[in-house]
Amino acid sequence: MANRLQQTIALQTKISPQQIQMIKLLELPTMQLEERIKREIEENIVLEEEPETKEQEGEEPQKISVEEYIGREDDTPSYKSRVNNFSKDDKQRPVYISEGRSLAESLVEQLRFRSLTEFELVVAAYIIGSIDDDGYLRRDLASLSDDLAFTRGLEVSIEELERILGIVQELEPAGIGARSLQECLLLQMRQQILDSTTKRLAQRIVAQHFDSFAKKHYERLIARLGVTEEEFRDAIEYIRSLSPKPGNLYAEGGIDTSPYITPDFLLDNNDGELRLMLNSQGIPEVRISRRYRDMIKDMVAPDGTIKAEDKEAVQFVKSKIDSAKWFISAIKQRHDTLMRTMQTILDFQREYFQDGDKSKLKPMILRDIADRTELDVSTISRVVNSKYIQTPFGVILLKSLFSEAMHTSSGEEVSSHEIKTILKECIDAEDKRHPLTDENLMDILNDRGYRIARRTVAKYREMLDIPVARMRKQI
């Protein structure tokens, strides 16, 4: 075959670096946006925060030498990492930062109060290092024995590991080092005085009839144990008072598992008039420094020429100014897009935002907002992703406002939130001795005019974190 050249015409869509920057900024929630702006200020020398007072704005700009930035941008940061603003008379005071002990550190410290050999301490510390955050030892002893042989060069038998694990399980919090929920409950009971019939019955239930207890076969257990319903109920309440996750009982480590939420939008309701604001608290206002603008003017002659020795400096500052302009423009565009999208959502769900009644939520998907804002669906998705709005009735995740449409027998569209609300109300009002199954719930909804399948009922029940009927059974 002969080689030949051929010209073709094709259309391609390419995203500019500025558009990529805009997309990334749009996805950021408020907390991350603050960090991103501060990082940009550090990296771009021409960007600065807006002065807080008029006195600061009226200050005389300082003389700056651009040469100190040119040629060193790659190997030195654009800000000082160290300052010397202390006098020789100032006393240096150390700053102590205390984070608290972790669960593992607390357990190892407790070991030192026991009469253990060095060998037992090493093995016990290794076992503690294998305990997870919930307080369970989920690795089998054979694997621990192999690990100790390979990593520490210690030959430890399964029987010896079982004995040392028993020492670890005597530490606080009670139940630590358990390998199952049954063992965890029994360990907690073992550290308590079983001074009542109720506690002894509870221990018997967990030790001998745990499977039936976990499956909530209460009537069968009452008959097998030969106790009254009241005695059985008291024993169950005692078991429920124990912790299924003993690791959560330790709170000195300083780790907060419930992070703070910073809302991206603020909504006020003033006598029915809704006022929407973008949460800009803590977000730095940035601008291009006048000092660098004046510097370029000084370097450029009236006829537009630039001295040869100044060309590199002017080019450097211009590139930084262009980058700063794009960044400021992207921040403004982000502000406009967020407000435009949120205002459309507010108008669409105005009845809900008046009082927070979830039954008033209309069916709403991303396409509904995209059509009204004339923005792409992907843009709407980036706006609502990981964003929150603070309302008079709580802080709400924007994604939770979107739901599928369901149809009633009359053809009317209702939100899936309305179905979930009815499901929750039915389950809250059910007879706990005979809880409603998914099929019973489906029949109730169908009788009310909601056409829904049993598997859909199960899906919504799981979304509400409600267990199946058998696990909701109570005596």
> Domain of 410: which CATH number?
1.10.10.60
Whether residue 409 is predicted with pLDDT greater than 90 in this model: the reply is no
Residues 274 and 395 in one domain: yes
Q: Tokens at residue 87, please?
A: 């006098």
pLDDT of 89: 46
Inside any domain, residue 25: no
Contact partners, residue 33, CB within 8 Å, separation at least 6: 25, 283, 334
Inside any domain, residue 9: no
Inside any domain, residue 44: no
Give 49's strand partners.
Answer: 286
Inside any domain, residue 382: yes
Contact partners, residue 453, CB within 8 Å, separation at least 6: 442
pLDDT tens digit string along 429-473? 888 888 888 888 888 888 888 788 888 888 888 888 888 887 787
Whether residue 39 is predicted with pLDDT greater than 80 in this model: the reply is yes
Q: Tokens at residue 122, please?
A: 């090493």
Q: Domain boundary residue among 343, 366, 401?
A: 401
Residues 338 and 442 in one domain: no
Instruction: Compute the Cα dihedral for 113, 118, 124, 126 and give only its sign.
Output: positive
Residues 377 and 331 in one domain: yes
DSSP SS3 for 77: coil
Number of domains in the chain: 4
Buried residues in 266-291 as b, exposed as e (16+ CB within 10 A): ebeeeeeebebebbeeebbebebbee
Give how far the C-alpha of residue 215 lies from the chain's centroid of Cα atoms, to the nearest Å.
33
Inside any domain, residue 336: yes
Residues 445 and 366 in one domain: no
pLDDT of 312: 78
Rounded CA separation 343/195 (Å): 63
Residues 282 and 354 in one domain: yes
Rounded CA separation 74/7 (Å): 42
- Residue 406: φ, ψ to 5°: -115, 155
Whether residue 290 is predicted with pLDDT greater than 50 in this model: the reply is yes
Inside any domain, residue 75: no
pLDDT of 344: 93
pLDDT of 303: 63
Inside any domain, residue 204: yes
Average pLDDT on 175-189 reads: 91
Average pLDDT on 247-255 reads: 61
Residues 270 and 364 in one domain: yes
pLDDT of 465: 84
Q: Is 334 exposed, middle or buried (0-12, 13-18, 19+ CB in 10 A)?
A: buried
pLDDT tens digit string along 337-391? 999 999 999 999 998 898 888 778 888 888 889 999 998 888 889 888 888 999 9
Q: Domain boundary residue among 110, 142, 171?
A: 171
Rounded CA separation 53/87 (Å): 28
Rounded CA separation 111/464 (Å): 43
Q: Tokens at residue 17, please?
A: 């670096």
Residues 299 and 368 in one domain: yes
Mean pLDDT of the chain: 79
Domain encompassing residue 234: 180-252
Contact partners, residue 254, CB within 8 Å, separation at least 6: 99, 100
Residues 278 and 396 in one domain: yes
Residue of 107 and 88 predicted with greater confidence: 107
DSSP SS3 for 300: strand
Average pLDDT on 148-164 reads: 88
- DSSP letters, 153-172, are -----HHHHHHHHHHHTTSS
Rounded CA separation 344/48 (Å): 33
Residues 393 and 426 in one domain: no
Residues 292 and 387 in one domain: yes
Residues 426 and 413 in one domain: yes
Contact partners, residue 94, CB within 8 Å, separation at least 6: none
Contact partners, residue 218, CB within 8 Å, separation at least 6: 232, 236, 473, 475
Residues 298 and 394 in one domain: yes
Give 405's strand partners.
Answer: 415
The verdict on whether omega for the bond into residue 435 sits within 30 degrees of 0, i.e. cis, is: no
CA dihedral 436, 442, 444, 449 (to 10 degrees): 170
Average pLDDT on 3-32 reads: 75
pTM of the predicted model over 0.75: no
Whether residue 19 is predicted with pLDDT greater than 90 in this model: the reply is no
Inside any domain, residue 133: yes
pLDDT tens digit string along 55-66? 444 555 444 444
Strand order in the sheet with 388-391: 273-278, 265-270, 388-391, 394-397
Contact partners, residue 353, CB within 8 Å, separation at least 6: 267, 269, 274, 346, 391
Which contacts of 352-359 are long-range, i.e. CB under 8 A and separated by 24 or more positions? 352/401, 353/267, 353/269, 353/274, 353/391, 354/269, 354/272, 354/274, 355/393, 356/391, 356/392, 356/393, 356/394, 358/417, 358/418, 358/420, 358/421, 359/417, 359/418, 359/421
Q: Domain boundary residue among 339, 366, 401?
A: 401
